[in-house]
Structure 1
Amino acid sequence: MDQLIDTLTGALGPFGPLIAVGLLGLFLVLIAISMIMAEKRDPLERLKRDTRLPSNAREVKEKLRTAQHNEKLERYANFLEPQDEDELAGMKLKLMQAGYRGKDSVRYFHFAQFAGGIGLLVLGVAYFVMFVQGEQTTMQQTILYILGPGALGYMFPKYWVTKRMQTRQEALTNGFPDALDMMLVCVEAGQSMEQSIIRVGKEVRPSCADLADELDIVANEMKAGKDKSTVLNDMSERCGSQDISSFVTVMNQSQAFGTPMSDALRVYSAEMRDKRVMRAEEAANKLPTKMTLATMMLTVPPLLIILVGPSVHGITQLGNM
């Protein structure tokens, strides 16, 4: 044992045994996870499924299952998905609002976190061993260079999804007033709600592709026979924008009370235009405040140097005389 410790110390430095134990533990954890995730099908369940379904129904069901989920990720579903239903629903909603509507989006997200954390952890260990490790290396530096990249790789997917969600909500909010004006024109021209949504989705795609995708989903769900209020509520949930949520509320109330939809759209589109102007004015009013600090830091020091510099130089010359 002493010879092994001396060998590791000579090869990897004073923290050689610690690094070797950490890598061994990581290897054992990966093996344990792979063994746990290797699910075995119950023979009784397979027998029940074979006796209940005819051959063609089994083939159809298998095709539908493979079309909805990734076979490689299906084995690790218990590991790549939260077991709490509320947490799973919240993660699905967040990814949906970020624009990731796939069936395996939650699994891909957790796989990205796991792969990023493990990959950067290994790279951090390799970089520490080859370039940083030495006799003067402290434990704090060791933890920083090894665990820091791993934590960064684990947190980056979450930061990416949050940033993507904010960017998408901002794009939907900015593009919605123009879409609402076009929808009002279509409705007043005699088109139905479904036809106007299809037309507006085609028109706004060059300027706001995210909003066009949402309108296409709404149009397809309405064509499939889904209830209009349910479709609009689902759209509001997917978008996560307050303006779109208010629009859905107005449309549902107009349908419930039997008021003309064109009147509701006219009033709400005017409100959206005023709200967009107010947001632009608010951003313009914030600009001088944001520029004050930069202006002081970049303007005042050179001005002081120009004004006070000659006097300071003259005083130093008099002192030398």
Structure 2
Amino acid sequence: MIEQISRSLTDPSFMVALVVAIAVFVTMFTALPALGADPLKARMKSVALERDELRAKQRARLAAEADRKRRGLREQESVGMRNIVERLDLRRALADEATLAKLKEAGFRGQNPLTKFLFFRLVLPFVFLALAVAYVFFLGGLPQQPPVMKMFVCIVAAYAGFYAPVLYVSNRASKRKASIQRAWPDALDLMLICVESGVSVEAAFRRVAEEIGGQSVELAEEFVLTNAELSFLQERKQAYDNLAARTGLESVKSVTQALTQAERYGTPVAHALRVLSAESRDMRMNEAEKKAAALPPKLTVPMILFFLPVLFAVILGPAGIQVSERGLFPG
């Protein structure tokens, strides 16, 4: 047995086979890392992920510091306003439920916008009155009017300053409603797709807010806020009611009522969203057709004042020039 083993070890062919086997094993051992994942790439990927995490943390820290500084400046600026409003009790005198609702519809939420609104309603009448008095009595404005008329103009300016914040808030609310109304049918279509695909209502609100932001920032903001309220409010119905109150639109109110009934009675949400989405699209088309139908009457006066005189001049101008050249009308 020993002689056979020694004979095999000293056999040249066996030695060649052994050397070849060792070479193949070493080659495979060396080539396996090259065939697998590149350690350098994995290392660089981990470094890149770590760098992104550090960058995100740094950005979050800088954003938190900037927000804290901005909030501190706002608080310092609004301390004097809040003291004046509380000392004069302007909330009881000038603010009611309609005022609060209008501020919400305009996108102003919280106590700070209400404080600024009341403060400006108190200060702007005196500012407008002072500007009117300076213009009328010191700068020589309205020189041909009697003193009674000048005093009347000053009083009207004071009233204008008193109602200027109301007009600003109403204008802001109208523009916000128009933006939400234009994007609402598309948002309902996206929400319907999300709900039919099995996504929850909260995730649907979040996804639609991400997609609809390019079309209407106001609607995306409302969806994000509603999603947050659905997470921490005790009653989900309150979150839907808040969405309807902040927008002030009947179409939004119909959708929130449908969502509330669906969660209370277990009715399918997709069917209600499909019907309401079709109604919203029809309403948007009707509004567009109404504006198109109202366009000809609105263009009548500009056409009479600006287009027809030019048209007559272009048509009758050459004839008038020819008649003048022939000498029928001495020039």
Q: Same fold (TM over 0.5)?
A: yes
Code of the aligned partner of 2:130 = V
Code of the aligned partner of 2:271 = D
Distance apart, 1:303 and its partner CA: 4.8
Say if 1:133 and 1:162 are closer, same or farther in 2 by CA, change over 3 A: closer
Distance apart, 1:161 and its partner CA: 0.8
Larger radius of gyration: 2
Determine if the alignment matches structure 1 residue 191 to structure 2 residue 202: no
Distance apart, 1:151 and its partner CA: 2.8
- Taking only aligned residues, the RMSD between alpha carbons, in angstroms, comes to 3.1
TM score, norm. by length of structure 2: 0.66
Higher alpha-carbon deviation: 221-230 or 73-82: 73-82
Any idea what SS the aligned residue of 1:75 has?
A: helix
Counterparts of 2:142 and 2:186 in 1: how far apart (Å)? 62
Distance apart, 1:185 and its partner CA: 1.1
Say if 1:133 and 1:188 are closer, same or farther in 2 by CA, change over 3 A: closer
Distance apart, 1:140 and its partner CA: 3.2
CA contact (8 A) 2:91 2:118 kept: no
Determine if the alignment matches structure 1 residue 268 to structure 2 residue 276: yes
Question: In structure 1, what is the equivalent of residue 288 of structure 2?
Answer: 280
Counterparts of 1:125 and 1:234 in 2: how far apart (Å)? 45
CA contact (8 A) 1:113 1:157 kept: yes
**Counterparts in 2 of 1:88-103, with a 5 A limit?**
88-103=96-111
Counterparts of 1:74 and 1:151 in 2: how far apart (Å)? 23
Counterparts of 1:295 and 1:136 in 2: how far apart (Å)? 37
Counterparts of 2:220 and 2:329 in 1: how far apart (Å)? 75
Distance apart, 1:320 and its partner CA: 8.9
Q: Choose which of 210, 216, 220 in structure 1 pairs with 2:224.
A: 216
TM score, norm. by length of structure 1: 0.68
Any idea what SS the aligned residue of 2:96 has?
A: helix
Code of the aligned partner of 1:253 = Q
Question: In structure 1, what is the equivalent of residue 215 of structure 2?
Answer: 207
Aligned residue pairs: how many?
A: 251
Any idea what SS the aligned residue of 2:275 has?
A: helix
**Counterparts in 2 of 1:1-150, with a 5 A limit?**
70-76=78-84, 77-79=86-88, 81-83=90-92, 87-132=95-140, 138-150=146-158
Code of the aligned partner of 1:177 = P
Say if 1:142 and 1:281 are closer, same or farther in 2 by CA, change over 3 A: closer
Q: Choose which of 291, 299, 308 in structure 2 pairs with 1:300.
A: 308
Distance apart, 1:114 and its partner CA: 2.2
CA contact (8 A) 1:80 1:111 kept: no
Any idea what SS the aligned residue of 1:82 has?
A: helix
CA contact (8 A) 2:78 2:116 kept: no
Code of the aligned partner of 2:254 = S
Percent pairwise identity: 27
Code of the aligned partner of 2:123 = A
